[in-house]
Amino acid sequence: MEQCMKCPDDKYTNLQQTHCLHRTVSFLAYKDPLGIALVCMNLFFSTLTVLVLVTSVKYKDTPIVKANNHILSYILLISLVSCFLCSLFFIGHPNQATCILQQTTFGVFFTVAVSTHTVLAKTTVVMAFKLTTPGRRMRGMLASGAPNLVILICTLFQFVFCAIWLVISPPFIDRDIQSEHGKTVIICNKGSVTAFLFVLVYLGSLSLGSFTVAFLAKNLPDRFNEARFLTFSMLVFCSVWITYLPVYHSTRGKVMVVVEVFSILASSVGC
């Protein structure tokens, strides 16, 4: 006891507590089984979404594509591809750039996708059928560029939130020496937890609004049944992120990163 000493943070004690051993560095790498599985899922769903986008562009003059507001459909598909790809920032050795891009790209691209859901296809039908009669001013607004403006404004708000987050308390590289024995887990600390939760709450508010509007329109005639798919889509999205919060705060180390990546992929697939 007279010669007892504490091991520095980059080392840990052996079982006999007689020597300090160097810790190995750990992170969610591309060569890890979990990393490989997540990347394969990412590439599969990204490719599938790109194929849908290419097909929509190729047949843009067909009645089905025109009826689904092809411009908003393109915006949604491109934003979904971006949502899938932004999860790649969570895999590999973290650095300051990837730590910042993880949260900003996640927040902005998901805002574009969810806000597009809010005004896409027949969520606007509920306004056309419930609030207006044919020929009124609201119908003219729906036919104009108002939906695109809604997407722009919603995304701009999220962009401002992320900018404030980066100015006040940006994400940074952190080292976790508690979650895995004998290892130093390199992770991205989110900086301001309040800002991160604010981004999630804003996304949740948009998705809840989209879900509500789509749910109100679910009993419209069959030719407007896109609202049923939007209802299911937003239900999946909300369920994933409601489940994510308690699971995320109960995990540590690499598992915490896996949970977030899986939540991003699952909610993107739902959209």
Question: Does any domain span residue 123?
Answer: yes
Question: Does any domain span residue 7?
Answer: no
Q: Which tokens in the block code for residue 81?
A: 């591809």
The strand pairing partners of 26, in sequence order, are 185
Per-residue pLDDT, 43: 92
Question: Does any domain span residue 12?
Answer: no
CA distance 55 to 58: 5
Question: Does any domain span residue 201?
Answer: yes
Question: Does any domain span residue 31?
Answer: yes
Please give the average per-residue pLDDT across 165-185, as a whole number.
Answer: 83
Per-residue pLDDT, 45: 93
Per-residue pLDDT, 146: 65
Report the percent of the chain where pLDDT is more than 70: 83
pTM value surpassing 0.85: no
Please give the average per-residue pLDDT across 10-20, as a whole number.
Answer: 78
What confidence category does residue 193 fall into, taking pLDDT thresholds of 50, 70 and 90? Answer: confident
Question: Does any domain span residue 163?
Answer: yes
For residue 12, pLDDT over 60 is answered with yes
For residue 116, pLDDT over 90 is answered with no
Q: How confident is the model over 59-108, as pLDDT tens digits?
A: 888 877 776 677 778 888 898 999 899 889 998 888 888 888 888 888 89
Question: Does any domain span residue 20?
Answer: no
Q: How confident is the model over 208-223, as pLDDT tens digits?
A: 877 777 777 666 555 5
Enclosing domain of residue 250: 27-270
Question: Does any domain span residue 21?
Answer: no
Please give the average per-residue pLDDT across 154-179, as a whole number.
Answer: 87
Per-residue pLDDT, 47: 93
CATH (domain of 259): 1.20.1070.10
Per-residue pLDDT, 225: 58
Please give the average per-residue pLDDT across 133-139, as a whole number.
Answer: 50
Q: What's the total number of domains in the chain?
A: 1
